[in-house]
């Protein structure tokens, strides 16, 4: 059954309920997390609301040490594991489903830039995550100080964590025109933060495999 967009009132209610339970679970487990990608874009661009044509929820988590506990806790709340990409330590992603609304949990990994002079300074660290295209990872990278430390805000009346520098994060992911919906946006090709040199697929091959995607 195709997922319905959040412009559907019933789907929006289900999405809000899923976001609430995921937020409470991650808080209880003590992990560092935030709403990610299109969910955060909606939080900022749509003044705390889901993007109407979006149909899933994106969450980022630093490290995957508690991934098994996340699975156990969310399953106890009625979520099922829809799919798993990557593996622990390497672009791990788990998609959960409940009431026909998907929640994608992306695990991020911290790396220091080469020859970083101050190892504890976030200015010299990068957070990276993986997205998967036909079994091969596309690597996305963010300066860690754009995300950490996260701050609290409301999304669909749910208390959530969000990146520390909203403008910096959104420009890094979506480019300087992030306020304007892009009908040609493609999750696998369009992010400005892709590091093709450290991905498992070339940009040229990814372009051959992709079709036009939804508007963000």
The stretch 154-172 carries a mean pLDDT of: 98
Q: How far apart are CA 142 and CA 193, in angstroms?
A: 7
* Domains of the chain (ranges, CATH numbers): 9-209 (3.30.460)
Q: How far apart are CA 11 and CA 44, in angstroms?
A: 20
Lowest mean pLDDT among 46-55, 107-116, 192-201: 107-116
Lowest mean pLDDT among 68-72, 92-96, 155-159, 208-212: 208-212
Q: How far apart are CA 46 and CA 170, in angstroms?
A: 13
Q: How far apart are CA 154 and CA 214, in angstroms?
A: 25
Phi, psi of 4 (to 5 degrees): -90, 145
Residues 6+ apart with CB under 8 A from 88: 64, 67, 107
DSSP string, the chain: -PPPPTTSHHHHHHHHHHHHHHHHHHHHHT--EEE-HHHHHHHHHTTSS--TT--EEEEEEE-STTHHHHHHHHHHTT-EEEEEEEETTEEEEEEEEETTEEEEEEEEEEEEPTT-S-TT-GGGEEEEEEEEETTEEEEEEEEGGGTSS-EEEEETTEEEEE-S-HHHHHHHHH-TTTTS--TT--TTT--TTB-GGGSSS-HHHHHHH-------
The residue with greater pLDDT, 113 or 202, is 202
Per-residue pLDDT tens for 128-147? 999 999 999 999 999 999 99
Phi, psi of 44 (to 5 degrees): -90, -50
Which two tokens mark 205?
Answer: 């091959």
pLDDT band at 112 (very low <50, low <70, confident <90, very high): confident
Above 60 in pLDDT, residue 120?
Answer: no
């Amino acid at each position: 059954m195709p997922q319905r967009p959040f412009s559907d009132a019933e789907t929006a209610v289900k999405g809000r309920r899923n976001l609430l339970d995921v937020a409470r679970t991650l808080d209880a487990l003590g992990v560092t997390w935030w709403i990610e990608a299109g969910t955060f874009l909606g939080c900022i661009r749509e003044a705390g609301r889901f993007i109407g044509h979006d149909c899933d929820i994106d969450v980022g988590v630093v490290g995957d040490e508690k991934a098994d506990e996340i699975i156990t806790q969310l399953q106890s709340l009625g979520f099922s594991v829809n799919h798993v990409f990557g593996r622990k330590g390497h672009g791990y992603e788990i998609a959960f489903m409940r009431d026909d609304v998907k929640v994608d949990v992306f695990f991020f990994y911290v790396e220091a830039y080469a020859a970083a002079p101050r190892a504890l300074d976030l200015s010299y660290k990068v957070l990276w995550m993986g997205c998967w295209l036909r079994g091969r990872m596309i690597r996305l990278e963010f300066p860690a100080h754009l995300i950490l430390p996260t701050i609290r805000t409301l999304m669909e009346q749910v208390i959530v964590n969000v990146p520390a520098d909203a403008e910096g994060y959104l420009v890094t992911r979506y480019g300087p025109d992030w306020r304007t919906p892009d009908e040609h946006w493609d999750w696998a090709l369009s992010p400005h933060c892709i590091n093709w040199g450290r991905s498992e697929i070339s940009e040229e091959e990814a372009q051959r495999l992709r079709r036009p995607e939804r508007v963000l």
